[in-house]
Amino acid sequence: MARPQVQMVPIDASVYKSPVLKKVNQLTQALASGSQLPTLAELNVFNVREVREMAPTEVSTEIERMVVGVVSSILRGEGFRYAVPSRTTANQIYVTELDRIVLADKLSVRDFTNMSAVRKTAITTKVMELVHQLLAKGIHVTKRDLFYTDVKLFKDQSESDTILDDVACMVGCTRSSLHVVASEKGVVVGRIAFRDDGDLIDCTRMGVGGKAIPPYIDRLTDITSDAKFILLVEKDAAFMRLAEDRFYNKYPCIILTAKGQPDVATRMFLKRIQKELHLPVLGLVDSDPYVGLKILSVYMSGSKNMSYDSASLTCRDIKWLGVRPSDLTKYKIPDQCRLPMKETDIKTGKDMLEEEFIKKNPLWSKELELMLKSKEKAEIRTYFATR
């Protein structure tokens, strides 16, 4: 199939000589000249568990192998049990050279004869059965659909979601390889076009709401763009304002948001377009230790909940464009647009100062210290409200 032929609105030639794009070009050159990242083995980081994309037949075979293992265990008189990777906080390892979290390869036993593990063992078996059926039929379902297949057993979707991650980790595949995906959440707009399962999508013609980022990232092909950078926005309101202003036609960029906490599809999409298009990523988040910097850290270094798949979900070296605590003074943000930090915000801020990804960025650490000193925070909309 031919690559998409998309006619986008021309960018004013003078923009390419602007200080903004000159700085962006420097970031792009730095990306291009950067050395290739070492592997975990080259860093002598062993005994970690990482997953990969697997074909349906591979996943099915591995599930069948585990079930045979359980049957063999029962016949040996050792009982009905699973060896499950332990995904506790204690098993999370931050690899400084890669700037991401990985999962230590430690196992825990989930035994059906243990009263505290009976439900989890039953749910694990049920999820494996459902996934095997999906793979055999060649269909996908959402995590919500999976939950509703047996509400009485699962009781709460958080339980089936957690076990789904356990099964992916046990099999050694990405969660999407299980054919179970999250509902669409993130959106993208701007100077990028691609085919979604064969259909041509031009993201400059998606209106204020943007194009929903599909959960099946592997079905996206023929990605083309004349953008110079990717603008990662924390909140939907800021995204819509930028889309409404057609900001991407003033400065050639791709704008995307997960509307708050990053979902897997948005993280995978960001990783893929950054890798294929070789563009710098600029993050626009609230000046807030929890909903701002914490969210940025998930995009950059990964979440502890899915550290087993951090290789395909993280996008290192995102530049913190704003809102920075120093911006409140720099841009003369009025007092009525500033918010007092709560005790929980202050505690989160102090905890973040101990995070490795903050320690690695002295300027970020300085900004966070300034926030804690002023005890003030601000939202992205502050930029728009004062201009």
34-71 per-position pLDDT tens digit:
777 888 888 888 889 999 999 999 999 999 999 999 99
Average pLDDT over residues 209-226: 91
Average pLDDT over residues 262-273: 93
pLDDT band at 229 (very low <50, low <70, confident <90, very high): very high
Predicted TM-score (pTM) of this structure: 0.89
Write down the domain spans for the chain. 48-181, 183-385
Average pLDDT over residues 353-366: 85
Q: Is 148 among the catalytic positions?
A: yes
Q: pLDDT, tens digit, for every residue of 129-156? A: 999 999 999 999 999 999 999 999 999 9
Of 135, 102, 26, 108, the closest CA to residue 306 belongs to 102
pLDDT band at 2 (very low <50, low <70, confident <90, very high): low
The reported pLDDT for the residue numbered 3 is 59
**Is residue 107 scored above 70 in pLDDT?**
yes
Active-site residue, from 16, 82, 148, 299: 148
Cα dist. 110→80, 117, 279, 377 in Å?
A: 9, 6, 44, 44
What are the structure tokens assigned to 284, written together? 């626009």
pLDDT band at 224 (very low <50, low <70, confident <90, very high): very high
Instruction: Look up residue 157 and give its amino acid.
Output: Q
Domain 48-181 bears CATH identifier 1.10.10.10: yes
For the chain, give the percent of residues with pLDDT over 70: 97
**Is residue 5 scored above 70 in pLDDT?**
no
The reported pLDDT for the residue numbered 283 is 94
- Candidates 2.60.40.10, 1.10.4160.10, 2.102.10.10, 3.40.1360.10; CATH matching 183-385: 3.40.1360.10
What is the enclosing helix (H) or strand (E) of 233? strand 229-233
pLDDT band at 301 (very low <50, low <70, confident <90, very high): confident
b/e burial code for range 294-315 (CB count within 10 A of at least 16 → b) = bbbbbbbbbbbebbbbbbbbbb
Average pLDDT over residues 63-91: 91
Query: Are the CB atoms for 303 and 296 separated by under 8 Å?
Result: no
For the chain, give the percent of residues with pLDDT over 90: 47
**Is residue 90 scored above 80 in pLDDT?**
yes
Cα dist. 53→4, 276, 307 in Å?
A: 26, 18, 15
- As a whole number of Å, the CA-based R_g of the chain is 23
Other residues' Cβ atoms within 10 Å of the Cβ of residue 79: 13
The reported pLDDT for the residue numbered 385 is 61
**Is residue 316 scored above 90 in pLDDT?**
no
C-alpha torsion sign, points 159, 271, 6, 199: negative
| DSSP secondary structure code for residue 35 in this structure | P
Cβ-in-10-Å burial (0-12, 13-18, 19+) of 249 comes to: middle
What's phi and psi for 376, nearest 5 deg?
A: -125, 145
CA atoms of 245 and 367, how far apart (whole Å): 29
The reported pLDDT for the residue numbered 362 is 87
Query: 187 or 379: which carries more pLDDT confidence?
Result: 187
Q: pLDDT, tens digit, for every residue of 149-202? A: 999 999 999 999 999 999 999 999 999 999 999 888 999 999 999 999 888 999
CA atoms of 27 and 309, how far apart (whole Å): 27
Write down the mean pLDDT value for the chain: 89
